[in-house]
Amino acid sequence: MRLLTHNFLKCNEENCTGGYPLQIKLDDTSSENVKILEQDFNKEFVKNVLSKVDYDVLYNTAKQFGISLLFSYTSQHLEDEGFLNSIHHALFKIHIMEGSLICPQCHVSFPIKDGIPNMLKGN
């Protein structure tokens, strides 16, 4: 599961409001709970995706994985390949393989196994 996906996922349990962002908890018993994988850089795609994601959530989540993004950005930064590359790295190259997503509001836990989050109710 990439951080792009994490940015799009929220809690949908009944009576839960404010179930975003979900907290990422890694499975410490797993030998490879996070992987870094290469992905081709497409400048226009990164700029496009930036307009869709919640940047604050991306900033905070990237920090959890040791990536220090710019706290905020301007339209000038959108032409800065260094900046775009850091976004590309954070959104696409970090893969959460084993862990869980926890709702900050109702505390329900969605497991991530082999990179696939299971968002089904009551699991």
CA distance 43 to 36: 20
Does residue 13 contact residue 106 with C-beta atoms inside 8 Å?
Answer: yes
State how far the Cα of 103 lies from the Cα of 121, in Å rounded to an integer.
12
Binding-site size for other proteins (CB under 8 A) equals 29
Whole-number Å distance between alpha carbons of 34 and 87 = 18
- Minimum Å gap between C-beta 96 and other proteins is 11
Say how many residues make up the chain.
123
Distance CA 87, CA 62 (A): 9
Whose Cβ is closer to other proteins: residue 7's or residue 86's?
Answer: 7
Q: Considering the rule CB under 8 A, would residue 33 count as an interface residue with other proteins?
A: no
Q: Which of 15, 44, 71, 76 binds other proteins (CB under 8 A)?
A: 44
Rounded to the nearest whole angstrom, what is the least distance from the CB of residue 112 to other proteins in the complex? 10
d(CA 31, CA 28): 8
- 52 to 71: interface string for other proteins, x by CB under 8 A: xx------------------
Give the footprint of other proteins on this chain (CB under 8 A): 1-2, 4-5, 7-12, 20, 37, 39, 42, 44-45, 48-49, 52-53, 92, 114-121
